[in-house]
Chains A and B, each alone.
Chain A
């Protein structure tokens, strides 16, 4: 029986410049990998019902570029891009990721890329996806975790970030 909890993404903060997200899927890993690396399929889930996919570029080879662009319901364009650094089909992807809307001077955008490692592990017909995001600094990590946060909750998050390491420890 599938428990709802197993379907819940788990977010932890293993270091003050890292974010780790894990989630189990009810499908073989070759399907999950395919859904993760095929533009038409990524377009169907990456937008998270927050808008429409405008561009899903995937050049799946080491050194190849990727770029995802969506338009939110409020008409705002949100774009991310990066480069594939390591590709082990059905198993592991390492990419860089830059949020093009980050409040940074353009020349600093690339230097503030995160390094994302996604692994797909087979678990008896199911797949455990592990996403590690390594940020260039604690500040960038904070920005990512808090992005889109309402003001009232921001304070709570600031406080809780402070105790997060105790929680994870």
Chain B
């Protein structure tokens, strides 16, 4: 996946996070987003396009309006990646792997299959 079209890039821009925040509260038409954020319509549309490309936002037609909504599943990689708590434990566990490997050796490499 090109770096310009992944979830990380999508949330790197503060205004896009603002839009995601609003959509997390519920489905909205563009006008609504324009009004609430104070951004121009072209700018909002541009951000929505980026968010749609990565699947973080989906849209549907309702009469003459297009409604946008959040698809949190696309943001899962970031959620999983950003937690420093998880990173801390990953690193602890990597160290623990080494400790356990040594302990196994000391135990005489018991057959554990």
Contacts and interface: CB of A to CB of B under 8 A. Distances in A.
A45 B78 contact: no
Interface residues of A, number: 45
A48 B73 CA distance: 30
A21 B90 CA distance: 10
Interface of B: 11-12, 14, 17, 20-21, 24, 70, 72-73, 75-76, 78-80, 82-86, 88-93, 95-101, 103-104, 107, 110, 112-113
Contact of B89 (A23, A28, A148): A23
A61 interface: no
A73 B103 CA distance: 27
A149 B84 contact: yes
Nearest to B14: A155
Contacts of A147: 84-85
B97 A26 contact: yes
Contact of A35 (B73, B86, B99, B107): B99
A102 B42 CA distance: 45
A160 interface: yes
A48 B88 CA distance: 7
Interface of A: 7-9, 11, 19, 21, 23, 25-28, 31-32, 34-35, 41, 44-50, 124-126, 131, 144-149, 152-153, 155-157, 159-160, 162-164, 166-167
The winner among B75, B83, B89, B113 for most chain A CB atoms within 10 A is B83
A146 B70 CA distance: 23
A47 B82 CA distance: 20
B38 to A, nearest CB: 18
Nearest to A149: B84
Given A26-B97, A31-B103, A147-B84, A167 B89 contact: no
